[in-house]
Amino acid sequence: MSAIVRLKLGKKLKQLRRKHNYTQEKLAEIAGIDYKYFQSIEGSKPPAVKIDTLEKLAKAFKISISELVDF
């Protein structure tokens, strides 16, 4: 996953999170991922994200993975 794709994913997650009125902490809890890890995904130097994590995040928003990464 390139740095540009990781940054776009972070921006998309932030938009969806705000649309659903979730804090980073609340979304991490709903998705079942570590809060600090989620914080880093939305950060300025996001890590590569595993497909399992994408699946958890998509499920938290009740969308498909393809919708999540459609940017």
Please report the domains of the chain, with CATH numbers, ordered by start residue: 3-68 (1.10.260.40)
Structure tokens that stand for 2 in this block: 């390139």
* 32-71 confidence digits (pLDDT tens): 999 999 999 999 999 999 999 999 999 999 999 999 999 8
What is the torsional sign of CA 69, 17, 47, 38?
negative
pLDDT of res. 48: 94
pLDDT of res. 1: 74
One-letter amino acid at 47 equals P
The separation between the first and the last C-alpha atoms of the chain, rounded to the nearest angstrom, is 14
DSSP codes, 36-67: HHHHHHTSSSPPP--HHHHHHHHHHHTS-HHH
